[in-house]
Amino acid sequence: MKTTKEPKVKLTLSIRKSAIEQAKRIVASQGTSLSNLIEEYLVNYTKPEQEAGLSKPSLADQLFGCAKDGPLRYMTDKEIKDLMVKDKYGL
């Protein structure tokens, strides 16, 4: 990533604590920081499609496979729906 003389500003985000802790461990092993990772992601995400050389993947493409090893992988759709209803209404 290019280094610029552009001033940096603080950004406050609300993210699950476990996600932040896991991300910090990963970026530390790669010799960078979470701030740098997020900045790089935002720079690449906001590049025009022609400059990036690729079109941005749809939300469905970005999420594809994210739950394949999740706790719901062996549940049927009906079981998941029942679980969500119970959670929502405290049953």
Write the pLDDT tens digit of every residue in 24-76.
888 888 888 999 889 988 888 887 765 555 666 777 777 766 666 677 778 88
Q: Where are the beta strands (DSSP E) in the chain?
A: none
CA triple 86-87-91, angle to 5 deg: 40
The pLDDT value given to residue 52: 53
Tell me the domain boundaries of the chain: 1-56, 57-91
Radius of gyration of the chain (CA): 19
Q: How far apart are CA 82 and CA 45, in angstroms?
A: 37
The CA distance from 76 to 72, in Å, is 8
Contacts of 72 (CB under 8 A, 6+ apart): 80
Specify the pTM.
Answer: 0.46
Residue 41 has a pLDDT of 87
Q: Is the pLDDT of residue 17 over 60?
A: yes
- Say yes or no to pLDDT of 2 above 60: no
